[in-house]
Amino acid sequence: MPPLTEAWAAEYLGVLVTLLVFALGFPALVLRLTTPEDVRHCISHRGTMAQWIFLTSVLVLLSAGFVWLLHPSSDTPLADWQEVAGNAAVTIVLVLTVIFWWSQMREHSRETVLQLLCRRCARNVRRRGILPERTLADIVYLGEQGEPGHEKKQVLEALDGLAASVQNRKQYTGYELEGLIQGIETTTLGGAGVGVLDNFLRAAGVIEHILLRLQRPELSAAPDTAIALWTLERLGVASLQLGSERAALAVLWVVASAAERQDGAFQFATERLFGIGRAALVDARCFLVAVAALSKLEASAERRTLLKGEVAADLLGLLAEFWANDGTARRHARSVLERVAGYFEPPLLEGMKAAIEHQYRTAHFNTADKLADMLKDLEKEQSTLS
């Protein structure tokens, strides 16, 4: 190895300065150009500035040590240990730079960021029993901004796992999942694009898992149950607006299953069945989904000894929507009404008056008007027969 003279030291110092510039500046520019905005947004919340400060400090210290050790005071060659130290300093800088940016490239992938956020949430659940709001918001943001299909599905699966970790704790009270459930809706419907069919089916499946874990008697009427059913209705209506009957039917099945399994959720579920059926019939003109909603509502209602209150109002309200369409739609409504007429308490015509008031109070004015028209028709038929 030739002696390390001042000329060599100057060359090495130039290399170190160049490394300082490119180790921090150029790779950062490349990462910014290649990393999606939503991933950068989540990374900015993770406190990774400490890694940058560490790398910068190490590079600066190595450069200062290099100059201090190797700056020659005369033309005499440097000692062997100084030559070794100089070569080691340059090598360490190069190796640290490569390792740092290799790790940064890995950490800037969507999958890695999502896994890290999920681990943070899981740790917080184990320690405190709740999901950290800021970290959960980052996960939902990844889902919201993710591309329909695989990217949104990844986030939905992550939310499914986090919901299970919260609900499987003995201390779970039914109040902890509002943000997560709303995140399912945001992931499926928001951001770069509305989810594809597979995303709607996966979202319905995640909420179904949540509802299944809410079957304990003390949890069936918990706030998480109501929020989950509200979210299902919005997903169902959105799928109808997109023209996806299959997604709407999948959502409808989950809502109907909740009505069958959970007594505390029965009223919430029948309201959601009415909402999806009404949207299918009035807004989307999707008779297949509307008939399915009416059938599920009828089946749920028939399992009760008497039809009264809001459950009766929901069933009668959807029947009135069919009745208003005349033709075969009215014929179908009449056949359903004949099967369930004996279950109402108070009797059918009095129950319809109560249903009109209910629809009025819940701001379903068109449904209330259609119920009033249906009541007039039935009263007229009854007077004719008598």
- 97-137 pLDDT, tens digit per residue, is 667 666 666 666 778 888 889 999 999 999 988 899 999 99
Helices 309-323 and 287-302, packing angle to 10 deg: 150
Alpha helices, DSSP H, located in the chain: 6-24, 26-34, 37-43, 49-70, 80-107, 110-128, 133-145, 150-167, 178-189, 197-212, 223-241, 245-261, 266-278, 287-302, 309-323, 327-340, 348-361, 365-385
> Could you say which DSSP state residue 193 is in?
S
Residue 1 has pLDDT above 50, yes or no: no
Which CA distances in Å does 119 have to 46, 123, 306? Answer: 13, 6, 49
Which candidate, 207, 213, 212, places its Cα nearest to that of 229? 207
Peptide bond into 72 cis (omega under 30): no
> Could you say which DSSP state residue 362 is in?
T
Q: What is the pTM of this model?
A: 0.77
Q: Are 134 and 45 in contact (CB under 8 A)?
A: yes
Sequence-separated (6 or more) residues with CB below 8 Å from residue 215: 261, 262
Supply the mean pLDDT for the chain: 82
d(Cα 74, Cα 46) in Å, to the nearest integer? 50
For the stretch 260-310, pLDDT in tens is 887 777 888 999 999 999 999 988 688 999 999 999 888 877 776 667 788
d(Cα 361, Cα 358) in Å, to the nearest integer? 5
For the stretch 4-40, pLDDT in tens is 556 666 666 676 666 666 666 656 666 665 566 666 6
Q: Are 214 and 169 in contact (CB under 8 A)?
A: no
Going from N- to C-terminal start, the domains of the chain cover 6-70+87-107
d(Cα 90, Cα 81) in Å, to the nearest integer? 14
Task: Quote the tokens at residue 339.
Answer: 């099967």
Alpha helices, DSSP H, located in 25-109: 26-34, 37-43, 49-70, 80-107
Q: Please tell me which residue, 129 or 361, carries the higher pLDDT value.
A: 361
d(Cα 319, Cα 377) in Å, to the nearest integer? 13
Give the pLDDT of residue 196: 84
d(Cα 161, Cα 119) in Å, to the nearest integer? 11
Sequence-separated (6 or more) residues with CB below 8 Å from residue 180: 131, 136, 159, 162, 163, 166
Which of 28-37, 134-143, 232-241 has the lowest average pLDDT?
28-37
